[in-house]
Amino acid sequence: MKLRPARKRFGQNFLHDANIISKILSSMAPSADDHFLEIGPGRGAITRPLSDAAGQVDVIEIDEDLADDLDKADWTDSINIHRGDALRFSYDSLLSSDEKAAGKKLRMAGNLPYNISTPLLFHILSYADIFRDIHVMLQKEVVQRMVATPDNKSYGRLTVALAARCHVESLFMIRPGSFRPAPKVDSAFTRLTPLPEPLISQEETPAFDLILREAFGKRRKQLANSLRDVLTAEQIQSVDIDPQLRAENLSVEQFVRLAQIATV
């Protein structure tokens, strides 16, 4: 079958490196009891071995032609193909009523398009409680932001939003030559493991997300100024945080304390 060319509008870069594919499968260690979701299966480089090892695999593919190709492949009887946009997909719809009753959780694999990786991560975060773990390939710079620590220029809204809900690990780098066409940047394979108990409650989440947007949207300003529409300097001081600090100076736990007082 003739391979379809990559489409720029979907940010497609197809993985072909057998060593990297083996390393990815080894890192995820799929088993027959697992229900996997794969975002962006492309030509099926990971999908095929994953479907051999996992009990159930659902894939979301926005490119109708690629989805059609997967549908026609002789090895895809064991996967469920969903044609749609992962940014708008309701992931909890993939769990059956029996799986939900048994407390079963999904596992995720994906090669996230670099042009929508951050909004897609935030969408995935909104479903963190239904996932056992999330394994994704991303641009190296995005992963550096995900695992950054305070007082670092890479530390930002994404870092804190993830850390309040997940344990994040950068597992290994992937060079451009592992993809066709080769991207102009290095990639990284990453594991997110949702925390048994998120650092923020559902009730506190709106205030937490607002504080992150305001604080990091005006990251050069002191908290007293960047958060003036949310909290007063006195309120910030009341939870033992100096209002003269900037967003990049605060730990995840300090942002949680700000959200808690903003929720009261």
What is the Cα–Cα distance from 55 to 60, expressed in whole angstroms? 17
Q: Are residues 87 and 177 in the same domain?
A: yes
CB 236 within 8 A of CB 224: yes
The pLDDT of residue 13 is 77
Q: Are residues 185 and 236 in the same domain?
A: no
The pLDDT of residue 229 is 95
Last residue of a domain, one of 172, 194, 216: 194
Q: Are residues 145 and 235 in the same domain?
A: no
Q: Are residues 182 and 257 in the same domain?
A: no
CB 34 within 8 A of CB 109: no
Q: Are residues 107 and 170 in the same domain?
A: yes
Question: ∠138-140-145 over CA atoms, to 5°?
Answer: 95
Last residue of a domain, one of 145, 167, 194: 194
Q: Are residues 190 and 240 in the same domain?
A: no
Reduced to 3 states (helix: H, G, I; strand: E, B; else coil), residue 187 is: strand
What is the Cα–Cα distance from 21 to 43, expressed in whole angstroms? 13
Q: Are residues 179 and 212 in the same domain?
A: no
Q: Are residues 103 and 20 in the same domain?
A: yes
Give the residue among 28, 15, 38, 64 at the shortest CA–CA distance from 176. 15
The pLDDT of residue 1 is 45
**Per the domain annotation, does 105 fall within a domain?**
yes
Phi, psi of 179 (to 5 degrees): -120, 155
Dihedral sign, Cα of residue 180, residue 60, residue 106, residue 112: positive
Last residue of a domain, one of 138, 168, 194: 194
Q: What is the dihedral of CA 141, 16, 65, 10, to 10 degrees?
A: 10
The pLDDT of residue 3 is 53
**Per the domain annotation, does 199 fall within a domain?**
no
Q: Are residues 137 and 105 in the same domain?
A: yes
pLDDT tens readout for residues 80-108? 999 999 999 999 999 999 999 999 999 99
The pLDDT of residue 9 is 47
Q: Are residues 227 and 117 in the same domain?
A: no
What is the Cα–Cα distance from 105 to 208, expressed in whole angstroms? 25
The pLDDT of residue 258 is 97
**Per the domain annotation, does 113 fall within a domain?**
yes
**Domains contained in the chain, number:** 2
Strand bridging mode 106-111 / 79-83: unpaired
The pLDDT of residue 128 is 93
On the question of a cis peptide bond just before residue 41, with omega within 30 degrees of 0, the verdict is no
User: Which positions of the chain have pLDDT values less than 70?
Assistant: 1-12
Q: What is the CATH number of the domain that holds 236?
A: 1.10.8.100
**Per the domain annotation, does 1 fall within a domain?**
no
- Domain around 227: 205-263
Q: Are residues 135 and 236 in the same domain?
A: no
Q: How far is CA 88 from CA 109, 119, 210, in A?
A: 17, 11, 21
Q: Are residues 171 and 240 in the same domain?
A: no
